[in-house]
Amino acid sequence: MMPGPSESNNNAEPFATFFPDWLTRQEHFLDELLQVQPSQHHEEGVDHESRELIGRVMTHYNQYYKFKSRIAHQNVFLVLSPPWFSPYERTFLWISGFKPSLAFRIVNNSVSDLDAEQGGQMERLAEEIKADERELAAELVAVQEALAAAPILALARREGRLENGRVREVDNAMERLRSSMEELVECADYLRTKTVVKVMEILNTGQSVRFLAAAAQLQLRIRSWGQQRDAARRNVSTD
């Protein structure tokens, strides 16, 4: 059966606790990234410090995806419209997260010193990632079309309009839908991770620091704007 409201709330509680702490660490990492940015030197000590910071930032993101994966396994529909995001933040979601090709816009806005070889590699990678996005988007449409019938089937089941054999058939169909959507979210998260890793393989250490700083700034800015809109909406409703 589809999870009810109370079950969804229970599933959301662990992430609702984890996410604010994760964002606080994100802000601290952003401060560190910005501190090392002004140095354009490539002395061994500075470069080693930057690479070590990049490693810690990537571990930080991996923690997010691991925790999110556990929540998705419990209730995949929760991560598709996560209550720990504001309505404004949710408008940026693509299969439960940022669209992978957004990484190339961040590179264009934050890294101005790509050489010709890097530029060519980035263009080829962008084409590859956008093709993967189109494939996942087509799969999403197919799953959404199947999901459209799920509420009708669930209602028929609750009202007892199905015989036992049909009940089992409906339950199996809905379980397949959940499984398909969970697999789709997993593939989208893999593509997001793959994109960032491959982008950073093209960038040098200093460029990677700037890229990660710009990505964190964008996420935190969207978060702040969403909170401001929610606060403004609450103020209007209480007037």
Give the span between the Cα atoms of 122 and 205, in whole angstroms: 16
Name the nearest CA neighbour of 67 among 4, 6, 8, 12: 12
- Other C-beta atoms lying within 10 Å of the C-beta of residue 175: 11
Taking residues 120-129, what's their average pLDDT?
Answer: 98
Return the pLDDT at 42: 53
Give the span between the Cα atoms of 143 and 148, in whole angstroms: 9
Pick the more confident residue, 44 or 192.
Answer: 192
Q: Is the pLDDT of residue 3 over 70?
A: no
Q: CB-based contacts of 39: which residues, under 8 Å, 6+ apart?
A: 46, 206
Name the one residue in this structure whose structure tokens are 């002004």.
38
End-to-end CA distance of the chain: 42
Q: CB-based contacts of 185: which residues, under 8 Å, 6+ apart?
A: 72, 76, 79, 80, 95, 96
What is the tens place of the pLDDT at every residue in 169-188?
Answer: 556 667 888 899 999 999 99
What is the model's pTM? 0.84
Give the span between the Cα atoms of 195 and 28, in whole angstroms: 24
